[in-house]
């Protein structure tokens, strides 16, 4: 598999000697953070065929069976304060839409903040984790992990997510070449890394892909579920929501559900 992935990259690709393939791993994000502590360089990429402890946002797991998906993390060492990376997950989401579109012709939507969706079903998730340097306010490591469902049929998903998840093969009705997609993901992540300073351009593209905007949503935060209308995404990637009392609030965290999607009726 690694040979096919490398074949999908240009011969002089700057990160090509830093791509690590694993048949089985606990979590590519967890391993990328461990490699960062041991001094792994900017642009280290980890890809796994299977994860035994794939992780998602809000402490959830990410189902990562062998032969079905792409589970990838990129380690960035941007040496900047964390505030300068508030749009990193948005940038990764747009670049993953670009990669999927390039290989399949289908452009997924983005459900704020970190899910790629096709129709009403989740295709992929992104988990971004920042580690600060021990004696500084600067980011020592930024790990962006992406899991994309490629080859699953409906029955391959666990019952609890069967009605909400989809794969590229389900959407296309034909097989997907995982190595070609992994190669495109790596190329688009490299391009994203170079484009990170262009925050407004990235967010303009994110807003275009974001299916949450204009929708009636619910926001679940610890001990509190509220309803509102998703208006916009601000310059930090936060979701601007109009609440029933007319106030507009910037939401940074929590579970946002869209009315009519994934069981919010």
Binding piece for ligand BTN, criterion CB under 6 A, among 27-35, 91-99, 206-214, 235-243: 27-35
Binding residues for ligand BTN restricted to 187-246, rule: CB under 6 A:
none
Task: Supply the minimum distance, in Å, between the C-beta of residue 164 and ligand BTN.
Answer: 11
Q: Buried (b) or exposed (e) across 167-202, using 16+ Cβ within 10 A?
A: bbbbbeeeebebbbbbbbbbbbbbebbeebeebeeb
Residue nearest to ligand BTN (CB): 125
Residue 94: in which H helix or E strand, if any? helix 88-104
Residue 78 has, within 13 A of its CA and on its CB side, a CA count of: 25
* Residue selected from 5, 6, 36, 54 as contacting ligand BTN according to rule CB under 6 A: 54
Residue 259: closest CA among 213, 224, 218? 218
Residue 129: closest CA among 166, 92, 173? 92
Asked if 27 touches ligand BTN (CB under 6 A), the answer is: yes
Task: Supply the minimum distance, in Å, between the C-beta of residue 143 and ligand BTN.
Answer: 8
Binding piece for ligand BTN, criterion CB under 6 A, among 36-44, 70-78, 153-161, 226-234: 70-78
Q: Which is nearer to ligand BTN, 146 or 238 (CB)?
A: 146
Binding residues for ligand BTN restricted to 150-179, rule: CB under 6 A:
none
Asked if 109 touches ligand BTN (CB under 6 A), the answer is: no
Residue 146: in which H helix or E strand, if any? strand 139-149
* Residue selected from 5, 45, 63, 73 as contacting ligand BTN according to rule CB under 6 A: 73
Residue 81: closest CA among 41, 133, 40? 133
Order of strands, sheet of 248-251, starting from the edge strand that comes earlier in the sequence: 248-251, 239-242, 224-233, 216-221, 255-258
Q: Are 123 and 93 in contact (CB under 8 A)?
A: no
Map residues 117-136 to x or -, x wherever contact with ligand BTN holds by CB under 6 A: --------xxx---------
Query: Which residue ranges make up the site for ligand BTN (CB under 6 A)?
Result: 27-29, 51, 54-57, 60, 62, 71-73, 114, 125-127, 145-147
């Amino acid at each position: 598999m690694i040979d096919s992935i490398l074949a999908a990259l240009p011969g002089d690709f700057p990160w090509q000697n830093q791509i690590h393939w694993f048949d089985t791993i606990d979590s590519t994000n967890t391993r990328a953070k461990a490699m960062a502590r041991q001094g792994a360089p900017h642009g280290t990429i980890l890809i796994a065929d299977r994860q035994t402890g794939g992780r998602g946002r809000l402490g959830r797991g990410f189902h990562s069976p062998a032969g079905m998906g792409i589970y990838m993390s990129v380690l960035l060492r941007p040496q900047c304060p964390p505030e300068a990376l508030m749009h990193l997950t948005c940038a990764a989401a747009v670049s993953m839409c670009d990669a999927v579109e390039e290989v399949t012709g289908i452009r997924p939507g983005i459900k704020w903040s970190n899910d790629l969706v096709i129709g009403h079903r989740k295709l992929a998730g992104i988990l971004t984790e920042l580690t600060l340097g021990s004696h500084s306010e600067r980011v020592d490591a930024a790990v962006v992990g992406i899991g994309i469902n490629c080859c699953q049929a409906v029955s391959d998903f666990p019952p609890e997510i069967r009605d909400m998840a989809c794969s590229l093969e389900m959407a296309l009705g034909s097989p997907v070449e995982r190595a070609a997609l992994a190669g495109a993901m790596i190329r688009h992540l490299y391009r994203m890394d170079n484009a990170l300073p262009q925050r407004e351009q990235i967010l303009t593209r994110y807003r275009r892909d974001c299916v949450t905007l204009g929708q009636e949503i619910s926001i679940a935060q610890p001990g509190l579920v509220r309803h509102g209308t998703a208006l916009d995404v601000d310059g930090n990637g936060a979701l601007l929501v109009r609440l029933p009392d007319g106030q507009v609030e910037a939401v940074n965290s929590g579970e946002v559900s869209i009315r009519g999607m994934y069981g919010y009726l």
